[in-house]
Amino acid sequence: MLGFLYILICLGIGFVICEMCFPKLSVFGRTTYDGRSAEIPSLFVCFPAWSIFGTIPMTWLTYLLGYLFQNKRHPLFYADAILMPVAIGVIAAFFLWKRKKRFQTLRELFSELGMGEIVFLLIVTLFYIFLFFWTFFCRDTKYYVGWSVASDFAPHIGMIRSFALGNNFPTSYSHFAGSDIKYHFLFQFFVGNLNYLGMRLDWAFNVPSIWFMVCTYMLLYFYAVKLTGKKAIGTLTTVLFSFRSSFAFLDFLSSLPKGTNFVEYFEENPGFIGTTEHEDWGLWNLNVYCNQRHLAIGLCVLLFLIIYFTQFLFGQAKRVKAEAERKMLLFLTDHPDEELLPGERAEYMVRESILHKEGWISPNWTKAAACGILLGLCSFFNGACVIACLCILFVMAWASDRRLEFALTAAIAVILSYLSTRFFIDGSAVHPTFYFGFLAKNRTISGVIKYIITLCGLLPFVILAALFFLNRVGKFLTFAFTAPIILAFTVSMTIDIAVNHKYVMIGLMLLCIPASLMINKIWQQRGAYAKIITVMLVFAMTVTGVFDYGTVLIKNDEKIGNAMNMDEDSDVCRWVMDNASSKDIFLTDWYSLNEFVLGGAMLYYGWPYYAWSAGYDTYGREALVHKMYEASTPDELDALVKECGIRYIVVDRQNRESNEYTVNEENIIATYKLVFNDGSTRIFDASKRITANEGGESEK
């Protein structure tokens, strides 16, 4: 109950902030960007805005208060006990002040919803309730995690439980304990707080994930309709976003042996399709949103800022056009026999755009500051969305009014990102290096073009066709949407180039808007052929994504054994929860996701890919793990354990059968007190050194 109350408080705080900083947001959907009348429900932008402007600051405040009480067994108790009543008081005071106006605003927002929008929200919500609870759910005391999401869920659940059950302040990475936190973890902290407040783990993880995915769809729909004035384009944009365009399905069909039963083959070989590198990971479909649950809140922040700043792009286009036409008219009146050369026309455009004061001066610093603070605070929710947003806004600013508003937003975001990085990380969060080609096998221009066509199918061709029908603003905006994709193909932000796929997905999400506009134009042509072509085109652009959706369901179907389970009532999990805190580091084998992780154990060396891709020195720790398990004398082992800050040493079947090292179990037994033994798994307390005459198996 308290977890749901916390969510409502976040929405209330978000409402307060939005009413203070964006008082006209409730009427933002009444017109399109070019001034045409529109009937877009403003709730589609207001509700996501309340969500992000409430959740992100509340999460940060909760974390910082917990940090102040880091020496307590449960810092979140003090953080929530202080913050929640204060937040409720702020919300109540705000509603009492001009309460008629507040309630009228809410009534108007909900009354704007038509049946079409209600059905849209219902479908999207049910779609993601099913998908997210299909991949992660609880039955009795067991948590079931689907195979396609288990890898990402390992560090996610580890981080969540380190806060819900422990006191991970200052914060350390759950799969590389004892170091700093290079991973954007604050969404996991938010979930951990909900879990601490009594919300069961699957609900604590799934409910916010569904919430922010629905908000993402609301914002994407709103943006598409506000740009084009057509609700059909908004709906189609979300469909293309959900089910990716690719030639992968055709490649899959062509690779099947003759006479193969398609359904039987698919059920027996439920793998993600595609011929480009790492497509077998499910790198480009809905599986990404199932396993990277923190991505949706970042997408909401990115979309909201783009929705807000796009109005200045249209504003400058309208102003420059009017001024240029007026001045050119004066010129032609004075020189009736002369024509303006292209260079002279361009000069007028530059003067009115780059050199005109309205292109720079911002009349509203409050909104710019609010946007900058929101974007900066988002850096440890999802850093990729922050970088992608800055790239898009940078391009948009060149052809927009109020460039100082863009600059202030970016400056605040960068400063806050830098400060939070310095607070959490020893060093830099990213290490950008030039790397052309992304995951293309042939890293040349022609190789990249071939890769994009193979990966995206018909989408690039539809976008190119749309450019012939877009005005200059539309063309420029389409170019701005490609900024994250250009970044992904030219710069490696981390040691693992594959993580750049999020930048590509963000760009493709936005490019679905001009693609939908083009498809809608074909549909509007007279004759049955246009309708047939449109249906065939939409089918061709979504069939791979629909097939991927079926793959996600099969790869995570617990009924046919495609899910792992962890028992919260197991002896191991209960022992960890009852005896260890987040200050205690466990020496284990390469654990990914098991009862130790579910119990909140902080692993000295978890599955190395997670830590390696985040920038940790996994090779150095691997060598130390081998030395500790293979130590030949108690003194040698004890010296290494103290150097590494180990509290508990785990010996089980997994490391007894390891091919990487040989466990000297007798030496561990002779060195430390045994505190847990279920016949297979033994846990030794490295803080309790035993003497030679005590024996190693002194406690069961």
Statement to judge: residues 328 and 399 lie in one domain: yes
Residue 363 has pLDDT above 80, yes or no: no
Q: Which residues pair with 434 in a beta bridge?
A: 491
When divided into structural domains, the chain yields a total of 3
Statement to judge: residues 319 and 340 lie in one domain: yes
Domain boundary among 512, 532, 556: 556
Phi, psi of 650, rounded to the nearest 5 degrees: -105, 130
Statement to judge: residues 315 and 410 lie in one domain: yes
Whether 628 is covered by a domain: the verdict is no
- Pick from 35-49, 337-351, 489-503: least confident: 337-351
Statement to judge: residues 75 and 46 lie in one domain: yes
Domain boundary among 426, 441, 468: 426
Whether 127 is covered by a domain: the verdict is yes
- Count of C-beta atoms within a 10 Å radius of residue 352: 20
Whether 687 is covered by a domain: the verdict is no
Prediction pTM value: 0.93
Whether 398 is covered by a domain: the verdict is yes
Statement to judge: residues 104 and 213 lie in one domain: yes
Residue 693 has pLDDT above 70, yes or no: no
Statement to judge: residues 289 and 300 lie in one domain: no
Residues 6+ apart with CB under 8 A from 3: 194, 195, 197, 198, 199, 203, 204
Q: Residue 375 has what pLDDT?
A: 97
Strands 585-587 and 648-651: parallel
Structure tokens at 62: 């909760």
- Count of C-beta atoms within a 10 Å radius of residue 657: 9
Residue 355 has pLDDT above 90, yes or no: no
Q: Residue 351 has what pLDDT?
A: 61
Per-range mean pLDDT, top range of 88-92, 272-276, 350-354, 469-473? 88-92
Statement to judge: residues 398 and 523 lie in one domain: no
Domain boundary among 511, 530, 556: 556
Whether 625 is covered by a domain: the verdict is no
- The string of DSSP codes covering 615-631 is T--HHHHHHHHHHHHH-
Average pLDDT value over all residues in the chain: 90
Q: In what order do the strands lie in the sheet with 136-139?
A: 136-139, 142-146, 563-567
Structure tokens at 511: 């490019």
Q: For 257-310, how does the pLDDT look when each residue is reduced to its tens digit (9 = 90+)?
A: 777 777 777 766 678 888 898 888 888 999 999 999 999 999 999 999 999 999
Structure tokens at 380: 């440890």
Average pLDDT over residues 314-322: 80
Q: For 505-521, how does the pLDDT look when each residue is reduced to its tens digit (9 = 90+)?
A: 999 999 999 999 999 99
- The more confidently predicted of residues 696 and 448 is 448
- The more confidently predicted of residues 505 and 694 is 505
Q: How far apart are CA 63 and CA 191, in angstroms?
A: 12
- pLDDT class of 342 with cuts at 50, 70, 90: low
Statement to judge: residues 279 and 391 lie in one domain: no
Q: Residue 317 has what pLDDT?
A: 80
Average pLDDT over residues 366-381: 95
Whether 386 is covered by a domain: the verdict is yes
Statement to judge: residues 244 and 365 lie in one domain: no
Residue 302 structural domain: 296-426
- pLDDT class of 97 with cuts at 50, 70, 90: confident
Q: For 154-198, how does the pLDDT look when each residue is reduced to its tens digit (9 = 90+)?
A: 999 999 999 999 899 999 999 999 888 988 899 999 999 999 999
Q: 527 in the Ramachandran plot: left (φ > 0), alpha (ψ -120 to 50) or beta?
A: left
Statement to judge: residues 246 and 369 lie in one domain: no
Residue 153 has pLDDT above 90, yes or no: yes
Distances (CA, A) of 12 to 53, 87, 196, 307: 10, 8, 21, 22
Q: Residue 47 has what pLDDT?
A: 96
Statement to judge: residues 102 and 196 lie in one domain: yes
Q: For 378-414, how does the pLDDT look when each residue is reduced to its tens digit (9 = 90+)?
A: 999 999 999 999 999 999 998 888 889 999 999 999 9
Whether 300 is covered by a domain: the verdict is yes
Q: Where are the alpha helices (DSSP H) in 335-444?
A: 342-353, 365-377, 383-397, 403-424
Average pLDDT over residues 130-159: 94
Whether 222 is covered by a domain: the verdict is yes
Statement to judge: residues 392 and 509 lie in one domain: no
Sign of the dihedral through C-alpha 256, 261, 264, 266: positive
